[in-house]
Copies of this chain bind each other. A is one copy, B any other.
Amino acid sequence: MSLCVVGSIAFDAVTSPFGERERMLGGSAVHFSLAASFFTDVRVVGPVGGDFGDDEYRVLHDRGVNTDDIERVSGNTFFWRGRYEYDLNTAHTEDTQLGVFGEFEPKLSDESRAAETLFLANIQPDLQRRVNDQCDGARLVGLDSMNLWIDTARDSLVQTIGGVDLVFMNDAELRMLTEQPNLVRAARKVMDMGPRAVVAKQGEYGAALFTPEGFFGLPAYPLETVVDPTGAGDSFAGGFLGYLATHGGDATAVESVLRQAMTYGSVLASFNVEEFGTERIRRLTREEIDERFEDFRRMTSFEVVPSA
Contacts and interface: CB of A to CB of B under 8 A. Distances in A.
Interface in A204-253: 204-206, 208, 214-220, 222-226
Contacts of A225: 182
A262 interface: yes
Interface stretch (A46-54, A65-73, A298-306): A298-306
A225 B188 CA distance: 13
Interface in A171-217: 181-185, 202, 204-206, 208, 214-217
B181 A299 contact: no
A303 B256 contact: yes
Contacts of A305: 260, 290, 293
A216 B222 CA distance: 9
Contacts of A263: 302
Contacts of A184: 222-224
B215 A218 contact: no
Contact of A302 (B183, B208, B226, B297): B297
A157 to B, nearest CB: 22
A260 to B, nearest CB: 6
A88 interface: yes
Contacts of A107: none
A216 B181 contact: no
A81 interface: no
A217 B295 CA distance: 12
B300 A226 contact: no
Contact of A208 (B218, B222, B298, B303): B222
A103 interface: no
A87 interface: yes
A259 interface: yes
B262 A181 contact: no
B304 A297 contact: yes
A86 B226 CA distance: 31
B206 A183 contact: no
A86 B260 CA distance: 33
A236 to B, nearest CB: 15
B298 A214 contact: yes
A181 B87 contact: yes
Nearest to A246: B308
B202 A259 contact: no
16 contacts: A182-B223, A182-B224, A182-B225, A183-B204, A205-B206, A208-B219, A208-B222, A215-B222, A215-B299, A217-B219, A218-B300, A256-B303, A259-B303, A260-B302, A263-B302, A293-B305
Smallest CB-CB A-B distances: 10 pairs: A217-B219, A205-B205, A259-B302, A215-B222, A86-B181, A184-B224, A184-B222, A87-B181, A215-B299, A300-B300
Interface of A: 86-88, 181-185, 202, 204-206, 208, 214-220, 222-226, 256, 259-260, 262-263, 290, 293-294, 297-305
